[in-house]
């Protein structure tokens, strides 16, 4: 059968280099010696897959060189401290060891992604002040006003930079161990609670209900107050005799004085 124009190879230069059409190249199958189909990976597709946006961004905070003493001498290894975040409200920190730096970083990255922490935020800052202590490290973090920025040291800055927090004030008050400081920052972010769940806001929300219950309890007590008001009015007339007694007593007290004056006048006449 005569080949179609699309399936024919085209000469592109005088040396005889041939080029197939795009349709023919797409339908062509490459097979090995045994006749099995060979699947060739397309490099262009591989590059496009790598260009896809990452869900998490990772940062290598520090790399330690550690050794272990064995019978034959010392075995050197590497320990990596890595932080992973999505620049919003998810963060993870992990430590891993490996025979080389790349393997240690890869292990720590996968470990951090498995142990991600989701925390609460108030806009672009923390919900409240928090102070956390992990072994010897003691980290204090405070919310800040917009425009303040991240005022923090190396480890705290690198971890907070992977979150959505833009305004923060922090201070490391204890040990300078970077691993302990990283876990202290992670614990402080985990302890963040939104404003709605604070105890003070819960008490304020419950106060109006208590006032309503008190007002309801006062309404049935109103008739009792009226009865109490009537009782003193009934007892008021009983106080008048007491007033007369006082006047009578005054009269009796004044009577001896008059008799004494009369006797004195009689003596003078005599």
pTM: 0.58
| Residue 228 confidence (pLDDT) | 47
Q: Which of 81, 85, 83, 84 is nearest to 96 (CA)?
A: 81
Q: What is the mean pLDDT of each run of 10 residues along the chain (270 residues)?
A: 52 60 70 72 55 81 94 93 94 95 95 94 93 94 94 93 94 94 95 88 64 52 50 51 50 58 74
Contact between residue 182 and residue 61 where contact means Cβ atoms under 8 Å apart: yes
| Residue 266 confidence (pLDDT) | 79
Fold equal for 57-117 and 130-197: no
**Chosen CATH of 130-197 out of 3.30.230.10, 3.30.450.90, 3.40.50.12280, 3.60.15.10:** 3.30.230.10
| Residue 229 confidence (pLDDT) | 47
Owner of token pair 């992604």: 113
| Residue 258 confidence (pLDDT) | 61
Q: Which of 5, 172, 155 is nearest to 81 (CA)?
A: 155
Contacts of residue 142, Cβ cutoff 8 Å, sequence gap at least 6:
126, 129, 168, 169, 170
SS3 call for 99: coil
SS3 call for 232: helix
Six token digits for residue 259: 């008799």
Q: Which of 155, 141, 149, 157 is nearest to 190 (CA)?
A: 141
Q: For the chain, give every domain's residue range.
A: 57-117, 130-197, 200-256
**CATH class held by domain 57-117:** alpha beta
| Residue 197 confidence (pLDDT) | 87
Q: Give the helix/strand (H/E) hosting 161.
A: none
| Residue 137 confidence (pLDDT) | 95
Q: Give the helix/strand (H/E) hosting 176.
A: none
């Amino acid at each position: 059968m005569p080949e179609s124009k699309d399936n024919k190879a085209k000469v592109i230069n005088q040396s005889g280099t041939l080029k197939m059409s795009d349709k023919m190249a797409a339908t062509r199958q490459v097979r090995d010696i045994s006749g099995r189909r060979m699947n060739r990976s397309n490099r262009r597709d591989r590059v496009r897959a790598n260009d896809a946006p990452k869900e998490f961004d990772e940062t290598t905070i520090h790399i330690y060189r550690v050794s272990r003493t064995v019978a034959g001498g010392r075995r050197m290894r590497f320990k990596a401290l890595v932080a992973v975040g999505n620049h919003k409200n998810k963060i993870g920190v992990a430590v891993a060891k490996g025979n080389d730096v790349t393997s240690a970083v890869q292990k720590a990255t996968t470990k951090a992604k498995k142990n991600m922490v989701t925390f609460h935020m108030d806009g672009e800052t923390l919900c409240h002040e928090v102070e956390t202590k992990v072994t010897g490290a003691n980290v204090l973090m405070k919310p800040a006003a917009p425009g303040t920025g991240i005022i923090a040291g190396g480890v705290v800055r690198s971890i907070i930079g992977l979150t959505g927090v833009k305004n923060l004030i922090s201070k490391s008050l204890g040990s300078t161990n970077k691993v302990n400081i990283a876990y202290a920052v992670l614990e402080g972010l985990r302890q963040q609670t939104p404003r709605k769940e604070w105890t003070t806001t819960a008490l304020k929300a419950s106060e109006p209900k208590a006032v309503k219950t008190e007002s309801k309890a006062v309404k049935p007590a109103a008739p009792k107050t009226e009865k109490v008001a009537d009782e003193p009015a009934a007892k008021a007339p009983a106080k008048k005799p007491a007033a007369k007694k006082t006047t009578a007593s005054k009269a009796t007290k004044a009577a001896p004085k008059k008799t004494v004056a009369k006797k004195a006048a009689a003596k003078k006449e005599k």
